[in-house]
A = this chain, B = another copy of it.
Amino acid sequence: MSLLVVGTVAFDAIETPFGKTDKIIGGAATYIGHAASYFKKPINLISVVGDDFPSDAIQQMNDAGVNTDGLQVKQGQKSFFWSGKYHNDMNTRDTLATELNVLEDFDPVVPNSYQDCEFLMLGNLSPQVQMSVIDRLKNRPKLIAMDTMNFWMDIAMDPLKQVMKKVDVLTINDEEARQLSGEYSLVRASQKILQMGPKYLVIKKGEHGALLFHDDSVFFAPALPLEDVFDPTGAGDTFAGGFIGHLAYTRDVSFDNMKRAIIFGSAMASFCVEKFGTQRLIGLDKNEVDERVQEFINLVQFDIELVS
């Protein structure tokens, strides 16, 4: 039984108050895959790149336990490219360039060897592509999680809502939750969104942590306070990777285990932002991950005995 990750594998060029990169390896599925690989191997990847994509970056994924049989390499075409510049607060950014390239007509292929999919993580992609992956799986996975973004709410709200009906977990940020629901209060927003399909809603608040909503329950995980957030790119995807990786490893989709998955996801995201791109994620020691999780435990742990 396997974990299937669908999303972009791409180039990014990033500018933050701390520095600037040329084209580096990025993409939602890259971050998700690397992060999930600390919990579960192998990971089956579905994505598309052009022939400009370096084979050693693919090899790096393979070395981490990511199976790239479902990664299409389009000859004569270029990989997806995004460029952005973060403001001083690191919470907002300007997009400088978005070149869809191979993404423009991406038709995801599900290799036969991927059909035993038990956990499916749909990284941020067009809702149509996300839907076609679901449709092409012969059996419904035990759990489907999807990430999306405001861009699709602007231009493809109907297809987005169709995919939402098919998934168990939706991960979006606070502004997207407000846009999707038309509610400012995240509690009210979650109530509306949980009626649109997903049984679990994760609202990512960046440096302010993440909320998990399910029925009338809510769980909150902070972000680890860091001396510096060097580059937030990919933090949300890395969070999703840790989250789905833990669920796929434990095969337990209870609310209590989702809480743990949120903590593991938050721990992975706290590494991601410490360096540019995937640098900090690759080659992490599992002990470092455990130490980071222990920091989360220390951060929020208190004991109060209520008499009543």
Interface residue ranges, A against B (CB under 8 Å): 88-89, 184-188, 205, 208-209, 211, 217-222, 225-229, 256, 259-260, 262-263, 286-287, 290, 293-294, 297-300, 302-304, 306-308
Most chain B CB atoms below 10 A, which of A88, A208, A293: A208
The verdict on A297 contacting B304 (CB below 8 Å), with A184-B88, A227-B185 known, is: yes
Q: Are A187 and B226 closer than 8 Å at their CB atoms?
A: yes
Q: How many copies does the complex hold?
A: 2
Contacts of A217 in B (CB 8 A): 298
Q: How far is the CA of A306 from the CA of B289 in the complex (A)?
A: 10
A83, chain B: closest CB distance, angstroms: 24
Q: Are A208 and B211 closer than 8 Å at their CB atoms?
A: no
Contacts of A219 in B (CB 8 A): 299-300, 302
Contacts of A209 in B (CB 8 A): 208-209, 222
Contacts of A208 in B (CB 8 A): 205, 208-209
Q: How far is the CA of A299 from the CA of B229 in the complex (A)?
A: 26
Q: Are A228 and B263 closer than 8 Å at their CB atoms?
A: no
Q: How far is the CA of A289 from the CA of B157 in the complex (A)?
A: 42
Q: Are B300 and A300 closer than 8 Å at their CB atoms?
A: yes
